[in-house]
Chain A
């Protein structure tokens, strides 16, 4: 099923298993993604889409397997990755302006203790311009609409000047104009050889938006170029009900306090 990627893959995931409270939510994922593509992750609710990108970025512990970005462990290439979390994951009543949030995208490059410089402000303003939000730079984030919040997050990710972008449902709850603006921007980014990986919900737009798709339902159904992978059969397999037996075994692992892999169990109370 895996098409060959001749050059170094932007992302390689090998035999990845992730468990919450011992129950595996992702089973043995193997995939390689090429650089410079716009890649969609699709699958039903609870399929583990967000979990996959969070684990790849090292935000969640993995039960088995490994992840390599540009053929290196994640911690060696932190400066090259960028993350757009789900919009609802933060409290927008936080006392900060749009500019403050976008400047956070510079913190990784700045390092600990250092103050924001004018050069960082210039980059941030430039990124705000790219998402059409420069007029809102001094606006309080509590006053933004959903689409504006999403654009702010996007500008923050752009300010990192990374090579690979992970975006968790950037189109959730945004208006049509914002969605169009965002997708245009993402396509321009991939033309500049950036890799953009997007957790996506709307099946209607998959073929229009993405070069590649990852089809996920607690295990990998398919991963490859959209035209050959986004097929009726794969869709059926992704959305056609959960694998009940797999889920039941996951529950059993939790109930019985079983380790996911022999030999690496931690004591539990």
Chain B
């Protein structure tokens, strides 16, 4: 606990660098990553991430130092080169984009690993720490790094802020953007440069291997929670920053732990939670919705059965034993009992001894279901030309789904018919 307070109080300047640095790196990657995601370029981000490794090694070989400015320039160049290669291969050969990305990614990364190994074996004392670029080193950030990454992050944010509407439009409808005369090629060039830059600084936090995770995962998680690009960018940056912070903290308390993988674990957990918990789009929300639909269907089916029993006896409010209901329509007995009890709580049926009878509300709801069922059967036979013996199953579904507006429209369209295709009377609340 004390370590958390020490960590968050930012009293130690080293910790301050690490905290600010990791938030900056992950948040700015997440912001640019949102547009990478919306432009459906997630795989491209991964290719760039792997392709910057040879650039970093080259920067080191040529400059002889680990000064981040040189390494960034090198990374930027090979990152770009990988993109140009992907585009060239896709355009000029029959190889498709996914294959081209796979090719370029592995070739660049392979070359990078070879160069890294050569540097490590060369005995150059300055090289120690270069391998941080493989898995990240957020916990080892120092003031000098922070200046460089801070500047790059500000540039990224500024570009996204200025070109926000252009990036959004391009992601949604590129041909249209072109038709209104936007300089599409140049805007794409800017966006691609931003992706490369975001990757170049993001790898400081998580390393090349896991870079795609902090570029894309925050956006993917944010997408579950919102329908607005602006909110999505904001959420992605918060998710990214939180995972960066958490990763840095973990490597602070357990220095042997690699930062990058922890950041990725945290952000993936956020994505996982979003996947399950998000309203509307989340899995649980969907399950709840489906459950409530199933309940409505069960409720209405039982009310319908009770109503139909009432039709037979010409007395809609007469009590029926559960066995009679089961005789009219087959349900699992336990299900019927539970549905009846639920309907009782909701005031649609009441119990007299062991028998059940409809209340006024129950009768009118049962009547509505029966009415829609028969109207729909009639509509299918008269307007859609479906044989009368094929319409029952469709109507069984539609009767629970139709909105009051569509119900009225259906009545009007069919002009309040008296009977359905099977000569069963169609019940209206007020006889027309």
Q: Is A116 an interface residue (CB 8 A)?
A: yes
Q: Is B384 an interface residue (CB 8 A)?
A: no
Within B212-247, which residues are at the interface with A (CB < 8 Å)? 223, 226-229, 232
Question: Once bound together, how far apart are the Cα atoms of A91 and B223, in whole Å?
Answer: 14
Chain A 157-174, CB within 8 Å of chain B: the 1/0 string?
A: 000100000100000000
* A108 pairs with B180, CB closer than 8 A: yes
Q: Is B169 an interface residue (CB 8 A)?
A: yes
How many of chain A's residues have a CB under 8 angstroms from any CB in B? Answer: 36
Spell out A's residues near B (CB within 8 Å): 54, 57-59, 75, 78-79, 81-83, 85, 89-91, 94-97, 100-101, 104-105, 107-108, 110, 112-113, 115-116, 140, 142, 156, 160, 166, 268-269
- In the bound complex, residues from chain B placing their C-beta under 8 Å from that of A110 are 165
* A81 pairs with B179, CB closer than 8 A: yes
Question: Once bound together, how far apart are the Cα atoms of A113 and B182, in whole Å?
Answer: 11
Total contacts A to B, CB within 8 angstroms? Answer: 79
21 inter-chain pairs at a CB distance below 8 angstroms, sorted by A residue, are A57-B178, A59-B175, A59-B179, A83-B176, A85-B173, A89-B175, A94-B38, A94-B172, A95-B227, A96-B229, A97-B228, A100-B228, A104-B169, A107-B165, A107-B166, A108-B180, A112-B163, A112-B182, A116-B165, A142-B227, A268-B92
Spell out B's residues near A (CB within 8 Å): 38, 92-93, 162-163, 165-166, 168-169, 171-173, 175-183, 223, 226-229, 232
- In the bound complex, residues from chain B placing their C-beta under 8 Å from that of A112 are 163, 166, 182-183
- In the bound complex, residues from chain A placing their C-beta under 8 Å from that of B168 are 96, 100
- In the bound complex, residues from chain A placing their C-beta under 8 Å from that of B181 are 75, 78-79, 108
- In the bound complex, residues from chain B placing their C-beta under 8 Å from that of A82 are 179
Closest Cβ–Cβ distance, residue B42 to chain A (whole Å): 14
* A95 pairs with B175, CB closer than 8 A: no
Closest Cβ–Cβ distance, residue B224 to chain A (whole Å): 11
* B229 pairs with A115, CB closer than 8 A: no
- In the bound complex, residues from chain B placing their C-beta under 8 Å from that of A54 are 175
* A90 pairs with B173, CB closer than 8 A: yes
- In the bound complex, residues from chain B placing their C-beta under 8 Å from that of A113 are 162-163
* B171 pairs with A94, CB closer than 8 A: yes
* A85 pairs with B92, CB closer than 8 A: no
Question: Once bound together, how far apart are the Cα atoms of A91 and B182, in whole Å?
Answer: 20
- In the bound complex, residues from chain B placing their C-beta under 8 Å from that of A166 are 179
Closest Cβ–Cβ distance, residue B141 to chain A (whole Å): 33
- In the bound complex, residues from chain B placing their C-beta under 8 Å from that of A156 are 176
Question: Once bound together, how far apart are the Cα atoms of A269 and B176, in whole Å?
Answer: 31
State whether A108 and B182 are in contact (beta carbons under 8 Å apart), knowing that A94-B172, A95-B226, A269-B92 are contacts in the complex.
Answer: yes
Question: Once bound together, how far apart are the Cα atoms of A101 and B229, in whole Å?
Answer: 12
State whether A95 and B228 are in contact (beta carbons under 8 Å apart), knowing that A104-B172, A116-B165, A268-B92 are contacts in the complex.
Answer: yes
Closest Cβ–Cβ distance, residue A241 to chain B (whole Å): 30
